[in-house]
């Protein structure tokens, strides 16, 4: 073989080796996180210890979040627009999920209006949208637990008394943010979904197709990256 031919062959072999190494690196590289309508946390965030009461009148704490995925919506039962619209969207979202992603997902509705939203009030409210939904509130003396839960998740709400009134008069206006909060099976905040549309009345809402896509992509990404937390399946 002539010197020039040997040199060209050497270049080819060297380039082939480089290409093989590059391909191996690319194949071994973790898939990038999915882009969602909201924020996927690179490191899930633990919640502060909290104690709430569910719509059955039973205690609900950090331990009850373990073993399943949870999607948290929040608001109040006398909300005339955003809250019922969001819960209706969540009922449709849940129906459209693939069975393997639906069976280990629990939807929670957290009341920011604990003075009015008793467990009994929540029971009739959440079951109207989906019997599998769980309502959460604070009972007398449990305000600190509610505060810990809301602060850990960044839930914003304001109770504004009417002119000349007080909160104790039960004459006040409730304002709150609009997001959905995804908790992983270790009870940690994993993602925040933000509204993707505004209706004709100017109220924010969630596109069901987008929400199904984003939730499915998050679960698939965590499964493929080896960071998924084993969840306790439950057919409901």
Specify if 215 maps to a domain: yes
Which residues make beta-bridge pairs with 40?
191
Same domain, 127 and 14: no
Share of the chain above pLDDT 70, in %: 82
> Are both 42 and 2 inside the same structural domain?
no
Same domain, 101 and 17: no
Together in a domain, 88 and 171:
yes
Question: Quick check: is 232 in a domain?
Answer: no
Domain containing residue 157: 38-225
Residues 8 and 67 in one domain: no
Which comes out higher in pLDDT, residue 172 or 220? 220
Mean confidence (pLDDT) of the chain: 85
One domain, residues 186 and 113: yes
Is 47 found in the same domain as 26? Answer: no
Structural element, H or E, at residue 158: strand 157-161
Residue 230: its pLDDT value, please? 57
Query: Best-predicted range by mean pLDDT among 93-107, 165-179, 199-213?
Result: 93-107
What is the pLDDT confidence band of residue 167, given thresholds at 50, 70 and 90? Answer: confident
Task: Confirm whether 231 is domain-assigned.
Answer: no
In this predicted structure, the answer to whether residue 168 has a pLDDT above a threshold of 80 is no
Among candidates 162, 153, 118, which has minimal Cα distance to 139?
Answer: 118
pTM (two decimals): 0.82
Are both 76 and 107 inside the same structural domain? yes
Q: Is residue 233 part of a domain?
A: no
Q: Are residues 13 and 74 in the same domain?
A: no
14, pLDDT greater than 80: no
The mean per-residue pLDDT over the stretch 49-64 comes to 97
- Does the CA dihedral 125-126-129-130 come out positive or negative? negative
Q: Is 91 helix (H, G, I), strand (E, B) or coil?
A: helix
Per-residue DSSP letter, 87: H
**Residue 226: pLDDT over 50:** yes
Say yes or no: 69 and 146 in one domain: yes
Mean pLDDT of 39-52: 96
Whether 213 and 98 share a structural domain? yes
> What is the 3-state secondary structure of 136-154?
EECCCCCHHHHHHHHHHHC
Indicate whether 92 belongs to any domain: yes
Are 18 and 46 part of one and the same domain? no
Domain count, the chain: 2
- How does pLDDT run across 108-135, given as a tens digit for each residue? 999 999 999 999 999 999 999 999 999 9
The pLDDT, as a whole number, for residue 161 is 80
């Amino acid at each position: 073989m002539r010197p020039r031919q040997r040199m060209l062959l050497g270049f080819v072999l060297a380039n082939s080796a480089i290409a093989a190494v590059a391909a191996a690196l690319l194949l071994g590289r973790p898939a990038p996180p999915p882009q969602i309508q909201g924020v996927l946390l690179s490191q899930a965030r633990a919640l502060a210890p909290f104690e709430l009461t569910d719509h059955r009148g039973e205690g609900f704490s950090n331990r009850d979040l373990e073993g399943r995925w949870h999607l948290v919506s929040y608001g109040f039962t006398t909300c005339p627009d955003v809250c019922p619209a969001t819960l209706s969207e969540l009922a449709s979202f849940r129906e459209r999920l693939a069975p393997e992603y639906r069976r280990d997902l629990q939807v929670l509705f957290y009341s920011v209006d604990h003075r009015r939203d008793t467990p009994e009030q929540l029971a009739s409210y959440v079951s109207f949208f989906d019997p599998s939904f769980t309502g959460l509130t604070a009972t007398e003396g449990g305000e600190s637990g509610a505060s810990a839960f809301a602060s850990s998740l960044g839930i914003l709400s304001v109770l504004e008394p009417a002119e000349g009134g007080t909160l104790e008069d039960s004459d006040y206006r409730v304002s709150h943010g609009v997001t959905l909060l995804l908790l992983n099976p270790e009870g940690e905040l994993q993602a925040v979904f933000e509204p993707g549309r505004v209706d004709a009345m100017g109220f924010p809402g969630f596109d069901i197709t987008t929400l199904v896509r984003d939730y499915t992509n998050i679960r698939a990404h965590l499964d493929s990256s080896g960071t998924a937390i084993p969840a306790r399946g439950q057919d409901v």
